[in-house]
Structure 1
Amino acid sequence: MTHPVTQVPALLRPRDSDALRAELRRAAGASTTPVFFGGEVHGQALVLSEFVGTWTSGLRGLVIPPRSGLGGRVVDQKRPVSVADYKRASSITHDYDGPVGGEGITSVLGVPVVVGGVARAVLYAADRGVGPIGGRTVDCLVQSSRRLANEIAIRDEVDRRTRMWSTLQTGQVDAVLTEELRDIHADLRGLTRAAGDPELQRQLRALTDRLARTLSGESGQDETPVALSPRELDVLSHIALGCTNHEVAQRLSVGPESVKSYLRSAMRKLDAHSRHEAVVKARRSGLLA
């Protein structure tokens, strides 16, 4: 994705299906239930794409509209739904008896991945014996859905912040936009810590570094390079926004004493005698937005 003035990296978002697949495998490894599968919601329809323990390809690529079958009901109601005997269940439509029967599946549990009040994916656990899905499997799948919802929410916010950065133009940037971009820089650092995907973390670190260099307008080549730890940069990025030590501690979920320690260490490395001077020198070196 190329913008006419500033080259902004393509959206950093990895494929959400990869995270979904990882959660299915994680749940399968922690449970004795033989079959797990799922998919993302595209528009309003659920598309099954990820499978663990299936025998056939009959479910692959299945498109499930809202309220159709068990999965469509899960998407529509945004809550877990289960049936102990799929063929005889009266609580769901039976549009997919063919592919479900082809897998020999009888009991099924579907759990939605809800982000911002919208079902974004559905995770399933299924057994080939009649009877309700076990409590351990239910717990594993619910935990997986929560982790995946949190990861998708983080990725959504990264995309939103990246798009906001695309408004940056070369030349003079007004003070309001500059402060907004610095706020974005601080938030992106927070999202870097929270992201569960190592590659996404690496790309986010590169993005925050690039944003810092862009806003500083300095290459940092005229001064001795300074290496600050991620936590030291986190603290300085929030101090640059005018936060007190107590506010920084709350935002980073650390103790006030830890904030003081990181700040002292950063000041020492930057040869700064005040928090303000530390921020100025970090910006001048291209370490901070």
Structure 2
Amino acid sequence: MPVSGPSSLLRPRDGDALRAELRRTAADAQVSVVFAGEVRESHLQLSEFFGTRTNGLEGVIVPPKAGLGGLVVDRARPLTVADYGRSSSITHHFDRPVLGEGLRSILAVPVIVGGAARAVLYGAIRECAPLGDRAVGAFVQAARRLSDEIAVRDEVDRRLAMLARQSTPDRDPMAAAEVREVHAELRSLAQTVTDTGLKQQLRALSDRLAGACDGTPASTTAIVLSPRETDVLSHVALGCTNVEIAQRLSVTPETVKSYLRSAMGKLDVHTRHEAVVVARRLSLLP
């Protein structure tokens, strides 16, 4: 997981997203025990648990190919064992904590981002019986949701790191264009996430970019654009047509026109170009 760079203090903990998804999956899958961990430098560390009776698995570090989790990290695909203690398909480095917890049938599903496992979700029961389709489906869906969430966070980190390497926008036209591109992409990314906190954070970051271009916080103006109005104007500033904006924001062209008219009314202007100019003057856009 990225832990450094200009956005490290701004990025929410991926462990928080993992815990929230695990809690949701515990209800959906209806299995006795669920647990999970993040992958760092190819090693899986177990950290989140629901339904366990002991603390034997807490903090366990699983190297690649070791046990069920290490094999899942190495192969980057879901695996299951119906009787952990007797399985010949895995190593038995972790029999003591796993069997001490009474776990027998276990499913492990990796969270894949960019072709590599970034976390592993487990579902387990204390009987030697296959986990049902409902449980497997719930864990696979959870892994996909987490994969999308982490990919968005990675992209934000990448964009902000790239932005930090640019020159001061008001001195470098190329850097100014990059700031505006990043601003628009942050607005678009905010529409793709389900985590309300992350959505608000992405929008807050874009607002900071807008104010940073002239050192004036956007909140100092009396005019307040809605998040969607800002989304639309940020793409108008890039020269996008209504159809292109609609595609980027996953709305209809008519909806884009509606938000644009509303923004123009608030800014007291009559054209798209004037709306962008005034919004920039008020630090509502970079």
1:212-267 per-position Cα deviation (integer Å, ceiling 9, x unaligned): 11225656799x62111111110110010010111111101110111111111111
Q: Tell me what 1:270 maps to.
A: 267
The reply on whether 1:181 has 2:179 as its aligned counterpart is yes
Q: Tell me what 1:163 maps to.
A: 161
Report how far residue 95 of structure 1 moved: 1.0
Q: Is the 8 A contact 1:12 1:159 kept in 2?
A: no
SS of corresponding position for 2:10: coil
Report how far residue 199 of structure 1 moved: 2.9
1:10-59 per-position Cα deviation (integer Å, ceiling 9, x unaligned): 53111111111111111111232100001000101111111010011111
Q: 1:239 aligns with which of 233, 236, 240?
A: 236
C-alpha distance 141-9 of structure 1, shift in aligned 2 (>3 A): closer
SS of corresponding position for 2:30: coil
Q: Is the 8 A contact 1:40 1:122 kept in 2?
A: yes
The reply on whether 1:19 has 2:17 as its aligned counterpart is yes
In 1, distance between residues paired with 2:207 and 2:237?
Answer: 15
C-alpha distance 268-284 of structure 1, shift in aligned 2 (>3 A): same
1:84-118 per-position Cα deviation (integer Å, ceiling 9, x unaligned): 11111111111111111101111000000000101
In 1, distance between residues paired with 2:280 and 2:230?
Answer: 11
SS of corresponding position for 2:29: coil
For 1:250-269, what aligned pairs fall within 5 Å after superposition? Answer: 250-269=247-266
Q: 1:90 aligns with which of 88, 91, 100?
A: 88
SS of corresponding position for 1:242: coil
Q: 26-35 or 98-107: which moved more?
A: 26-35
Report how far residue 210 of structure 1 moved: 1.5
Stretches of structure 2 that go unaligned for 5 or more consecutive residues are: none
C-alpha distance 63-159 of structure 1, shift in aligned 2 (>3 A): same
The reply on whether 1:74 has 2:72 as its aligned counterpart is yes
Aligned length: 284
Q: 2:62 aligns with which of 61, 64, 69?
A: 64
Q: 1:138 aligns with which of 136, 139, 144?
A: 136
In 2, distance between residues paired with 1:175 and 1:120?
Answer: 37
Q: 1:226 aligns with which of 208, 219, 223?
A: 223
Q: Is the 8 A contact 2:34 2:50 kept in 1?
A: yes
2:37 partner letter: G
1:281 partner letter: V
Q: 18-27 or 108-117: which moved more?
A: 18-27
Report how far residue 133 of structure 1 moved: 0.9
Q: TM-score, normalised by structure 1?
A: 0.92
Paired-residue identity, %: 59
Q: 1:129 aligns with which of 97, 109, 127?
A: 127
Q: TM-score, normalised by structure 2?
A: 0.93
Report how far residue 168 of structure 1 moved: 4.6
Report how far residue 177 of structure 1 moved: 1.3
Stretches of structure 1 that go unaligned for 5 or more consecutive residues are: none
2:13 partner letter: R
1:65 partner letter: P
2:254 partner letter: E
Provide the alpha-carbon RMSD of the alignment.
2.1
In 1, distance between residues paired with 2:9 and 2:195?
Answer: 15
The reply on whether 1:38 has 2:36 as its aligned counterpart is yes
SS of corresponding position for 1:30: helix
